[in-house]
């Protein structure tokens, strides 16, 4: 039986004795630490602690207050997520200029198809440019431009909005800006992105052009969790398509864009259904999940793949005809 553990995340400066202060506070309240992971990136410290709070000797409210007081004392941000905090799931849509992915996400929500059970919503659309304001308004969504006019993001404002709308998951719908550790560490394991290549091939910008320049015959798209390493987060799902001989970058893009929307929506649905988990940097489907993950090629394409020869097994050949038996 899988236990649901409470997650405590600490983000801020790398203070001496910080880990000991947090773990001591938990121990004093009868909370058992099941796992602890820490990292420092670009001067930002992150510690994620998963704890069993079933036998804790305090209330949830008092624990939150104690951790908040400790956070102020250490000048760090401490967040607590109990597994049963909320039934509803809220997805922030982060966008830039391209409409095809965010429009597909908003349409899915409007049709009750954002989650398998229909119990999920997109409460806010946030852009690092103002180009998609009209798209958000068409779906009656509040839109915030947190960019500076050149696409650079005010991440302090972004974090304020995510907290204000009590967001569970960030969906980067062709959001063309790298998130800093200040954001990633606070929402680690809760940010999904779509990248227009079959990662790990062609990370970074201009992935379709990279595919064209490399002369690949099969290209594709990938949904993945975001980490502080660009386009290297755990892969959730992928789709592939043929690249015709002599195809231009625009032709490759036209083939890939519908799949970008499909694969990001699949990743969001799987995450919201709690159907996947990351273990040692790889996404796995949870045992006993009711979801039916669509992680790669459709069945018809898989069935078309040859199944021989197989290493170590001889090919089966038809018996030669018997002379004179025509």
**231, 242, 294, 326: the active-site residue:** 231
What does the block give as tokens for 268? Answer: 């969001």
**Residue 170, exposed/middle/buried by CB under 10 A (0-12, 13-18, 19+)?**
buried
Instruction: Concatenate the DSSP letters of all residues of 145-184 into one string.
Output: E-B-SSS-B-HHHHHHHHHHTT-SEEEESS--SPPPHHHH
Q: CB of 235 within 8 A of CB of 199? A: yes
Query: Is 274 one of the catalytic residues?
Result: no
Q: CB of 8 within 8 A of CB of 22? A: yes
- 61 by DSSP, 3-state: which? helix
Q: How many CB atoms lie within 10 A of CB 193?
A: 23
Segments of the chain assigned E as strands: 6-12, 32-41, 44-52, 76-81, 89-95, 120-127, 143-145, 169-172, 191-195, 218-225, 235-242, 276-279, 282-285
Q: CB of 47 within 8 A of CB of 14? A: no
**Cα distance between residue 51 and residue 57, in whole Å:** 14
Go through 308-323 and write b for each residue having 16 or more CB atoms within 10 A of its CB, e for each that does not. eeeeeeeeeeeeeeee
**Cα distance between residue 83 and residue 93, in whole Å:** 23
Count Cα atoms within 13 angstroms, Cβ side, for 326.
Answer: 2
DSSP 310: B
Check the CA dihedral 296-302-307-309 and report its sign.
negative
Give the residue numbers annotated as catalytic, written as ranges.
231
């Amino acid at each position: 039986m899988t236990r649901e553990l409470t997650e405590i995340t600490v983000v801020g400066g790398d203070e001496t004795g910080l880990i000991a202060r947090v773990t001591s506070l938990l121990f004093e309240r009868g909370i058992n630490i099941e796992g602890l992971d820490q990292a420092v990136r670009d001067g930002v410290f992150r510690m994620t602690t998963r704890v069993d709070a079933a036998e804790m000797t305090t209330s949830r409210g008092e624990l939150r207050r104690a951790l908040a007081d400790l956070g102020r004392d250490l000048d760090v941000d401490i967040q607590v997520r109990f597994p049963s905090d909320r039934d509803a799931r809220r997805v922030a849509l982060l966008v830039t200029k391209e409409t095809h992915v965010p429009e597909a996400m908003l349409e899915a929500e409007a049709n009750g198809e954002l989650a398998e059970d229909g119990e999920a919503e997109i409460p806010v659309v946030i852009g690092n440019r103002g180009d998609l304001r009209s798209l958000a308004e068409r779906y009656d969504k509040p839109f915030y431009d947190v960019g500076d006019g050149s696409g650079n993001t005010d991440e302090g404002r972004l974090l304020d909005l995510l907290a204000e709308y009590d967001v569970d998951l960030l969906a980067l719908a062709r959001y063309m800006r790298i998130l800093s550790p200040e954001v990633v560490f606070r929402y680690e394991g809760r940010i999904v992105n779509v990248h227009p290549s079959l990662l790990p091939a062609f990370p970074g910008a201009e992935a379709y052009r990279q595919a064209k320049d490399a002369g690949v015959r099969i290209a594709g798209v990938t949904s993945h969790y975001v980490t502080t390493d660009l386009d290297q987060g755990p892969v959730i799902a992928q789709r592939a398509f043929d690249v015709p001989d002599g195809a231009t970058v625009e032709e490759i893009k036209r083939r890939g864009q519908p799949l970008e929307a499909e694969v990001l929506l699949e990743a969001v649905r799987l995450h919201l259904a709690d159907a996947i988990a990351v273990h040692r940097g790889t996404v796995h489907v949870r045992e006993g999940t009711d979801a039916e993950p669509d992680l790669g090629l459709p069945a018809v394409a898989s069935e078309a793949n040859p199944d021989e020869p197989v290493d170590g097994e001889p090919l089966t050949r038809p018996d030669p005809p018997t002379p004179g038996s025509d």
